[in-house]
Amino acid sequence: MGGERGGEIVVVGGGVVGLATAVVLAERGRRVRVWTRDSVEATTSAVAGALWWPYRIEPVASARAWALRSLRVYQELAESAGRSGVRVVDGVLGETRLDDVDAWLAGRVPELRATSAGEYAGAGVRARLPLIDMSAHLPWLRERFVAAGGVVEERTVTSFAEVEAPVVVNCAGLAARELVPDESVTPVRGQLVVVENPGIDTWLVSSDAAGEYAYMFPQPGGLVLGGTAEEGVWSLEPDPATAEAIVRRCAALRPELEGARVLAHRVGLRPTRPAVRLDSEPLPGGRLLVHNYGHGGAGVTVAWGCAEEAAGLALA
């Protein structure tokens, strides 16, 4: 199996899931290369918000385990001095009652409680959650991987047949649609606006009666405002009208955002699938292919749990 094969492992995909998987494998003493079509800073993960919270991910039982393992990792990173980009930040999840929060989160999420009337107009839950600055976290992951002996190469893979390593780990995200191929992988477009922060230091996630999201995440480079979840939309071009609507929804919740200077527009395509695929299959010549893709908007939330499970399959 993976341990008997020995030799090099190639991880295809340089987003947060691919890099976390590569780190786990390299730190277990294996020779690992990451092949990524885009630079780490240009992956979909770089556009993420990125708040730890289980979000639209199946299978539920596995996702809970992956999320909790990742939560522990992020909490440890937030406590340690370093440049990981991980902080634990207070905030509010709107339109949610404490009774609606899954029991498996109780006791594991710090300071989880119902909001008071003065904290949020409507039902809400307050909690301290990991908030990850992806502009810092992705380069930090790459550096951690390289420090463990790993190698990152910008390289486009058109077929797993061209990857000659004994073990290949597929963390290709949306590209898995053609690469596997797997037509169940589809994009969910997310558009964000980064504005100059007027002094907001807590995160907020809310939605209105029409199902439109408004969220804000204070990051070192500005306040990240969102967002959209447009299923099946492939465009990476920021839409001005959408951007204006995002700022308008957020300013309705925090009036100090009115007129805030726009610093950047971001668009990312979440690699969504009915359920995460995390399994393995044989390749010709006795090689092994491990799949770890389809995380949608929850890649950051489950990255470390999925990485450890995928590494276990690769080394079995």
CATH number for the domain spanning 226: value is 3.50.50.60
What's the pLDDT tens digit per position in 237-250?
999 999 999 999 99
Residues 6+ apart with CB under 8 A from 141: 16, 19, 20, 23, 40
Q: Taking a C-beta distance cutoff of 8 angstroms, is the pair 22, 32 a contact?
A: yes
Q: Are strands 151-154 and 167-170 parallel, antiparallel or unpaired?
A: unpaired
What share of the chain has pLDDT > 70, as a percent? 98
In which residue ranges of the chain is pLDDT below 50? Answer: 1-4
The reported pLDDT for the residue numbered 5 is 55
C-alpha 309/C-alpha 295 separation (Å) is: 14
C-alpha 101/C-alpha 158 separation (Å) is: 42
Q: Would you give the DSSP letter of residue 51?
A: B
The reported pLDDT for the residue numbered 4 is 46
25 φψ region: left (φ > 0), alpha (ψ -120 to 50), beta (else): alpha
What's the pLDDT tens digit per position in 108-146?
998 999 999 999 988 999 999 999 999 999 999 999 999
Q: Taking a C-beta distance cutoff of 8 angstroms, is the pair 246, 217 a contact?
A: no
The reported pLDDT for the residue numbered 82 is 85
The reported pLDDT for the residue numbered 3 is 43
75 sits in which H/E element: helix 60-79
Domain carrying residue 32: 2-315
Q: Taking a C-beta distance cutoff of 8 angstroms, is the pair 13, 36 a contact?
A: yes
From residue 39, alpha-carbon distances to 43, 45, 122, 139, 156 in Å are 7, 11, 42, 10, 11
As for how many domains the chain has, the answer is 1
C-alpha 265/C-alpha 288 separation (Å) is: 40
C-alpha 290/C-alpha 24 separation (Å) is: 14
What's the pLDDT tens digit per position in 103-118?
888 889 989 999 999 9
